[in-house]
Structure 1
Amino acid sequence: MPFPENSSRKPSLPEVHRSIAIPNTKNVWRKMLAYAGPGYLVSVGYMDPGNWATDLAGGAKFGYALLTVIMVSNLMAILMQSLCVRLGVATGRDLAQTCRDYFSPRVNLCLWLLCEIAIAACDLAEVLGSAIALQLLFGIPLIWGVCITVLDVIVLLLLQHKGFRYTEALVIMLVATVGICFTAEIIFSRPDLGGILLGYVPKIEIVQNPEMLYIAIGILGATVMPHNLYLHSSIVQTRDWEPTTEKKWEAIKFCTIDSTVALCFALFINSAILIVSAATFHFSGHQDVAEIQDAYKLLSPLLGVNAASAIFGLALLASGQSSTLTATIAGQIVMEGFLNLRFKPWLRRLTTRLIAIVPALISIMILGEKSTGSLLIFSQVVLSLQLSFAVVPLVMFTSNHRLMGEFVNPLWLKILSWLVAVAIGSLNVWLLLQTISGWLFPK
């Protein structure tokens, strides 16, 4: 698996590349704080509105049983994001740039198109999530809510002009908002602690029950987002570590800690959505709740807390907006990495945002506002199609000694990574086939 000697070395996200200084100190906490941030931008992809439907449906139908699936999904995500860190730090290239260096122009064009479709699908879910939240909270028509989400382009331009730390701070604030909201929802719903703990224990019934297995694979399939792999391998390079072997190992260690902690927070959010759904709907006879709008309308009456629905809507809005911000950055990384196209920042971000908004607007205008549920499901199916085209190159590159040098995956990590890559690919193919079968042969 040879790599060209004249590989492109133009930096990813040039306006913020190596812009955050790393203190030359032995104080571990100061260094950890300097490296903290990219993991939280990545984590929002694991708690975006596309995941809410599967978590809500899983909790409403099966109580706490599928918490174990959320945990396994999160462990897979932690592994894949650690490989992104290793690739970005060791090579100075993101995943898209590495693909461009290794694969032929024709293969790269196909990978870029697939990735753009995946980002558009993922962004479709995030844009719809934000628009649904605006509609539920303020009565704004869905089509206008979709248009309002374009404002994130302006926000990103203003923040990155000030420095990448401001972008990270905004995303962390939005993620914290989601966390605080669901902490309140858990308190309101008064779940059974023993049931929650048992929910994290693996169960054979998940495999034996076809309906439970379908939702479980939906949770797994919606968790590892392909655009996050391109995103993370790039934004770790915003840190200005010294280009020595010792400092690179240090960067890999601290960036991996950052992403692991952030993804543990994503585990809490996804678990909280399922726990609140189980405690509120499953044990009250509302086991058919799967739509975000239905959950919003039922929360306050069932919990007897007037603010419960509003808090749910606020969490959805924060989740959708944080996700659209990071998806816009990911779109820029993919376009620059695969095609080496360098536009002005405002044009680049506007282009990536329109790629997401235009399909959402067309879908709502043609199919109507009631199509949001099916659109969210469709977006996850498209993501399932593309995921292996990002996961397999990532595992392949980080396992290549010529590219990675001493930072190559050790044997145990190679085996584990390939097993996870095969599992993710197989589960997503199964989910895709089942979804298509459901469309062609509805019950």
Structure 2
Amino acid sequence: MNSPSDAAVPPVAGPPSLPEVHRSVAVPNAAGFLRKLFAFMGPGYLVAVGYMDPGNWATSLAGGSAFGYTLLAVALTSSLMAILLQALCARIGVATGRDLAQLCRERFPKPVAYPLWLFAEVAICATDLAELIGTAIALELLFGIPLLYGVILTALDAFLILWLQNKGVRWLEALIFGFIVLIFGCFAVQIALSDPEWGAVLRGYIPAASIVTNETQLYIAMGILGATVMPHNLYLHTAVVQSRAWTMDDAGKKEAIRFATIDSTIALSLALLVNSAILITAAATFHTSGNTEVAEIQDAYQLMAPLLGSVLAAKLFAVALLLCGLNATVTATLAGQVVMEGFLRFRLPPVFRRLVTRLIAIIPAVVVTWMYGASGTAQLLILSQVILSMQLPFAVIPLMMFASDKARMGAFAAPRWQVVTGWVIAAVIVALNVKVLLNVAFGD
């Protein structure tokens, strides 16, 4: 892979990322810290919802029921990785005025850029597969809608995005934030009803050697990693951060990087709380009662009421799942737009673009649902998240190359500690992926 700092490859001017919302949110110049922070708050939440999608549910349910609180350490570590990588995404988007897909297309040769595009599309298909199926399961649990019909119904979110974007990105961000608050409330009630052992919960955040040495734990851990860091969200954040109209001088960019980093850090910390809540609920409800093989979301729903003695817990579980699925499909569709336009410079009228990016993901979801129905959805969801983990290096490595490139980033190049930590994260992800592949190929 050629270095992005190769001066022989000049940047190519092009349209802005997500042109419908580009620099559409005003940033007050003469204002206090809180007012400016409020102006920048929003993109982080659009990114954070991808970290609490139905794929996370499948991995957390399987991990919590089988291994108790052990994999909380993976959720914490993955979230810390995501916080740093998303901070670098905000830095790149502000400093260059380009998103990650555009940078890859402009600064890598085509034999490198096009495979990166294909890997990004695979990641989007994998995450949308989980989100579509998870949303359809929630519709089935709450309203009795057959799974296949539920998957098809989720395509309607494309029109929801169009309507909200026409009203302004702030409306979209407000909807997402409202859903996050409701999801958090649902799990607060569930944790209270499940009454976990808090000492064991805290110990669960300490990494255990079995996570790497036990093949099953490692497989689920990689699913949690893929579901938490999510490659397509790296592309998305570099784009949505540019919806703010900061001052275009160095001082304005520096301030924008600082506030965008605070925004994403707060949002991803909330996502960590939600992901932890799913795993804690599964561990406290299923693992401690001896139900160590609960991985299907439908099974968890059916068992929750009798084990906790409350129908409310099961209903809130399904409501939170529905909200997570709707949230995540919205942002995955936006990521699909960013990837398609950035890599291919392929522009369509908004309604057609939305439908194309949605169809890329909904077709495999419909096929899989038609072939397998409700059976085996947990394995499928977990596999989709492991596939995400496998795609991570193809987004993280270019991200690190651009973030550390002083020739192009200038004074906004990432500080040394972020560069070193980011490359360590990339190396760890690659090493764990290789180990999973070797486990699959050769067994223990």
TM-score bracket, shorter-length normalisation: over 0.9
Partner residue, 1:68? 73
In the alignment, the residues of structure 1 paired with residue 194 and residue 338 of structure 2 have an alpha-carbon distance, to the nearest angstrom, of: 41
Report if aligned partners of 1:364, 1:371 keep a CA contact under 8 Å in 2. no
Which residue, out of 113, 118, 123, partners 1:118?
A: 123
Partner residue, 2:345? 340
Report if aligned partners of 2:97, 2:242 keep a CA contact under 8 Å in 1. yes
In the alignment, the residues of structure 2 paired with residue 54 and residue 437 of structure 1 have an alpha-carbon distance, to the nearest angstrom, of: 23
Report if aligned partners of 2:48, 2:264 keep a CA contact under 8 Å in 1. yes
Which residue, out of 157, 175, 178, partners 1:173?
A: 178
Structure 1 segments, 4+ long, off by >6 Å, are none
Whether 1:87 and 2:77 are equivalent positions in the alignment is no
Whether 1:12 and 2:48 are equivalent positions in the alignment is no
Which residue, out of 231, 234, 239, partners 1:229?
A: 234
Q: 1:117 is aligned with what amino acid? A: V
Whether 1:105 and 2:135 are equivalent positions in the alignment is no
In the alignment, the residues of structure 1 paired with residue 119 and residue 422 of structure 2 have an alpha-carbon distance, to the nearest angstrom, of: 22
In the alignment, the residues of structure 1 paired with residue 437 and residue 103 of structure 2 have an alpha-carbon distance, to the nearest angstrom, of: 28
Partner residue, 1:401? 406
Q: Which deviations, in whole Å up to 9, do the C-alpha atoms of 1:311-346 show, x marking residues without a partner? A: 100000000010000000000001110011111111
Q: 5 Å matches for 1:372-411?
A: 372-411=377-416
Whether 1:32 and 2:49 are equivalent positions in the alignment is no
Q: 1:379 to 1:207 in 2, by over 3 A?
A: closer
Which residue, out of 136, 139, 142, partners 2:141?
A: 136
Could you tell me how far 1:429 is from its partner in structure 2?
A: 3.1
Partner residue, 2:47? 42
Q: 1:163 is aligned with what amino acid? A: G
Partner SS, residue 369 of structure 1 = coil
Which residue, out of 209, 217, 222, partners 1:204?
A: 209
Whether 1:328 and 2:333 are equivalent positions in the alignment is yes
Partner residue, 1:416? 421
In the alignment, the residues of structure 2 paired with residue 124 and residue 205 of structure 1 have an alpha-carbon distance, to the nearest angstrom, of: 30
Q: 1:151 to 1:263 in 2, by over 3 A?
A: same
Q: 1:335 is aligned with what amino acid? A: M
> Structure 1 stretch 54-63 or stretch 69-78: which is displaced more?
54-63
TM-score (norm 2): 0.95
Report if aligned partners of 2:125, 2:360 keep a CA contact under 8 Å in 1. yes
Kindly, what percent of the aligned residue pairs are identical?
Answer: 56
Report if aligned partners of 1:221, 1:427 keep a CA contact under 8 Å in 2. no
Report if aligned partners of 2:147, 2:373 keep a CA contact under 8 Å in 1. no
Which residue, out of 256, 260, 277, partners 1:255?
A: 260
Aligned residue-pair number: 439
Q: 2:414 is aligned with what amino acid? A: N
Report if aligned partners of 2:223, 2:386 keep a CA contact under 8 Å in 1. no
Partner residue, 1:162? 167
TM-score (norm 1): 0.96
Unaligned runs of 5+ in 2: none
> Structure 1 stretch 71-80 or stretch 2-11: which is displaced more?
2-11
Q: 1:264 is aligned with what amino acid? A: S
Report if aligned partners of 2:100, 2:238 keep a CA contact under 8 Å in 1. yes
In the alignment, the residues of structure 2 paired with residue 220 and residue 254 of structure 1 have an alpha-carbon distance, to the nearest angstrom, of: 26
Partner residue, 1:357? 362
Q: 1:92 to 1:183 in 2, by over 3 A?
A: same
> Structure 1 stretch 113-122 or stretch 32-41: which is displaced more?
113-122
In the alignment, the residues of structure 2 paired with residue 252 and residue 106 of structure 1 have an alpha-carbon distance, to the nearest angstrom, of: 32
Partner residue, 1:148? 153
In the alignment, the residues of structure 1 paired with residue 212 and residue 365 of structure 2 have an alpha-carbon distance, to the nearest angstrom, of: 35
Could you tell me how far 1:384 is from its partner in structure 2?
A: 2.5
In the alignment, the residues of structure 1 paired with residue 192 and residue 327 of structure 2 have an alpha-carbon distance, to the nearest angstrom, of: 24
Partner SS, residue 150 of structure 1 = helix
Partner residue, 2:6? 2
In the alignment, the residues of structure 2 paired with residue 273 and residue 72 of structure 1 have an alpha-carbon distance, to the nearest angstrom, of: 16
Whether 1:434 and 2:439 are equivalent positions in the alignment is yes
Whether 1:311 and 2:340 are equivalent positions in the alignment is no
Q: Which deviations, in whole Å up to 9, do the C-alpha atoms of 1:388-431 show, x marking residues without a partner? A: 11110000111111110111122222111100011112223333
Could you tell me how far 1:378 is from its partner in structure 2?
A: 2.9
In the alignment, the residues of structure 1 paired with residue 314 and residue 103 of structure 2 have an alpha-carbon distance, to the nearest angstrom, of: 45
In the alignment, the residues of structure 2 paired with residue 433 and residue 149 of structure 1 have an alpha-carbon distance, to the nearest angstrom, of: 36
Could you tell me how far 1:7 is from its partner in structure 2?
A: 1.8
Which residue, out of 165, 172, 182, partners 2:187?
A: 182
In the alignment, the residues of structure 2 paired with residue 45 and residue 423 of structure 1 have an alpha-carbon distance, to the nearest angstrom, of: 22
Q: 1:201 to 1:106 in 2, by over 3 A?
A: closer
Report if aligned partners of 1:395, 1:414 keep a CA contact under 8 Å in 2. yes
Q: Which deviations, in whole Å up to 9, do the C-alpha atoms of 1:192-218 show, x marking residues without a partner? A: 122212222233343444433333333
Whether 1:425 and 2:430 are equivalent positions in the alignment is yes
Q: 1:188 is aligned with what amino acid? A: L
Report if aligned partners of 2:236, 2:338 keep a CA contact under 8 Å in 1. yes
Q: Which deviations, in whole Å up to 9, do the C-alpha atoms of 1:5-35 show, x marking residues without a partner? A: 3522420011110000001124100000000
Report if aligned partners of 1:384, 1:432 keep a CA contact under 8 Å in 2. no
Could you tell me how far 1:188 is from its partner in structure 2?
A: 0.7
Supply the RMSD in Å over aligned alpha carbons.
Answer: 1.6
Q: 1:6 to 1:279 in 2, by over 3 A?
A: closer
In the alignment, the residues of structure 1 paired with residue 154 and residue 371 of structure 2 have an alpha-carbon distance, to the nearest angstrom, of: 20
Report if aligned partners of 1:188, 1:308 keep a CA contact under 8 Å in 2. yes
In the alignment, the residues of structure 2 paired with residue 135 and residue 187 of structure 1 have an alpha-carbon distance, to the nearest angstrom, of: 26
Could you tell me how far 1:367 is from its partner in structure 2?
A: 3.1
Could you tell me how far 1:435 is from its partner in structure 2?
A: 4.6
Partner SS, residue 307 of structure 1 = helix
Whether 1:288 and 2:290 are equivalent positions in the alignment is no
